[in-house]
């Protein structure tokens, strides 16, 4: 069994990478949102979109902190992520254990060398929401899946730039939706994504921080193909939910 595999983190990872490549956003019509905050958010969205429209591929180091509802101690991990338009992802966990996630459009492979197993499946069948797939493939504008508004409270990141809160729209049905909101922070000047936090309805929170970002390095398709030893067992992924 793949004891290290955490589906919350997996789907969260896909969301993170998808946002990195397709940050097309629209502002929610919030009654309590003041005009200055809305203006600042619009500017962040504009700069973010301009940056990533020029991005063909992206690679970065990441650290991840996952808090599970009911547990006091957070789970921490780190590794590297690589993305290429359209729909290719390579997500390598390196510490505290090795786990590799490869995505080619709807095809997903999760390899844990320690267990000599690879989990294979379809993203449309493994995720409880269509949003991650749509974001990853760029199949729909994000304003069809999310509203955006200024983050309440402190509401600012490094350099005083506004944090963005993304709210999933309810078009998929409340029963199948586990994601409550996403909070996004960008780097000053470059407007690449610096941190992203995914809040689930269950109370679980997965936060990612990115560093050493490099874009348009010319990553080839072969770099996103998983090459496995001959003695690896292939396991079919369970179908968690059929998105509406």
The answer as to whether 241 is a domain residue is: no
Q: Are 231 and 116 in contact (CB under 8 A)?
A: yes
| pLDDT, tens only, 126-179 | 665 555 445 544 444 555 667 888 888 778 888 889 898 888 776 544 444 677
Is the pLDDT at 15 greater than 50? The verdict is: no
The answer as to whether 15 is a domain residue is: yes
Question: What pairing do the DSSP bridges indicate for beta strands 117-122 and 233-236?
Answer: parallel
The strand ranges marked E within the chain are 57-67, 75-84, 88-95, 99-104, 107-112, 117-122, 146-150, 164-168, 179-186, 193-200, 205-215, 233-236
Is residue 221 classed as helix, strand or coil in its secondary structure? helix
- How many Cα atoms within 13 Å fall on the side-chain side of residue 7? 15
Q: Of all residues in the chain, what percent carry a pLDDT higher than 90?
A: 23
The answer as to whether 244 is a domain residue is: no
Where residue 203 falls (left for φ over 0; alpha for ψ -120 to 50; beta otherwise) is left
Is the pLDDT at 68 greater than 70? The verdict is: yes
pTM for the model: 0.80
The answer as to whether 1 is a domain residue is: no
Question: With bands split at pLDDT 50, 70 and 90, how would you rate the model's confidence at 39?
Answer: confident
| pLDDT, tens only, 102-117 | 988 878 898 999 989 9
Q: How far apart are CA 209 and CA 9, in angstroms?
A: 14
Average pLDDT over residues 187-203: 88
What average pLDDT does the structure give for the chain?
Answer: 77
What is the model's pLDDT at position 217?
94
The answer as to whether 2 is a domain residue is: no
What tokens were used for 135? 């974001």
Is residue 22 classed as helix, strand or coil in its secondary structure? coil
The answer as to whether 225 is a domain residue is: yes
Question: With bands split at pLDDT 50, 70 and 90, how would you rate the model's confidence at 242?
Answer: very low
Q: Of all residues in the chain, what percent carry a pLDDT higher than 70?
A: 71
What is the model's pLDDT at position 105?
80
Domain residue limits at 174? 7-236
The answer as to whether 242 is a domain residue is: no
The answer as to whether 243 is a domain residue is: no
What is the model's pLDDT at position 130?
53
Q: How far apart are CA 30 and CA 40, in angstroms?
A: 15
Q: What is the CATH number of the domain that holds 209?
A: 2.50.20.10
Total structural domains in the chain?
Answer: 1
Q: Select the more confidently predicted residue: 26 or 12.
A: 26
| pLDDT, tens only, 158-169 | 888 989 888 877
Q: How far apart are CA 151 and CA 183, in angstroms?
A: 7
Q: How far apart are CA 201 and CA 180, in angstroms?
A: 5
């Amino acid at each position: 069994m793949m004891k290290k595999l955490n589906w919350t983190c997996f789907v969260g990872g896909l969301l993170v990478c998808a946002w990195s490549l397709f940050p097309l956003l629209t502002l929610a019509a919030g009654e309590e949102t003041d005009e200055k905050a809305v203006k600042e958010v619009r500017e962040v969205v504009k700069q973010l979109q301009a940056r990533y429209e020029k991005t063909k591929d992206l690679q970065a180091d990441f650290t991840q902190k996952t808090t599970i509802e009911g547990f006091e101690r957070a789970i921490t991990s780190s590794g590297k992520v690589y993305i290429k338009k359209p729909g290719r992802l390579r997500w390598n966990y390196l510490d505290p254990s090795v786990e590799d996630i490869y995505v080619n459009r709807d095809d997903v492979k999760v390899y844990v060398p320690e267990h000599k197993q690879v989990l294979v499946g379809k993203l449309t069948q493994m995720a409880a929401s269509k949003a991650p797939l749509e974001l990853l493939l760029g199949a729909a504008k994000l304003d069809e899946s999310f509203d955006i508004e200024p983050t309440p409270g402190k509401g600012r990141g490094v350099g005083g730039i506004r944090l963005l809160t993304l709210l999933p729209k309810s078009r998929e049905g409340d029963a199948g939706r586990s994601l409550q909101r996403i909070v996004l922070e960008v780097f000053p000047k470059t407007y690449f994504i610096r941190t992203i936090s995914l809040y689930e309805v269950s109370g679980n929170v997965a936060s990612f921080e990115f560093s050493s970002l490099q874009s348009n390095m010319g990553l080839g398709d072969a770099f996103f193909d998983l090459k496995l030893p001959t003695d690896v067992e292939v396991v079919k992924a369970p179908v968690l939910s059929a998105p509406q």
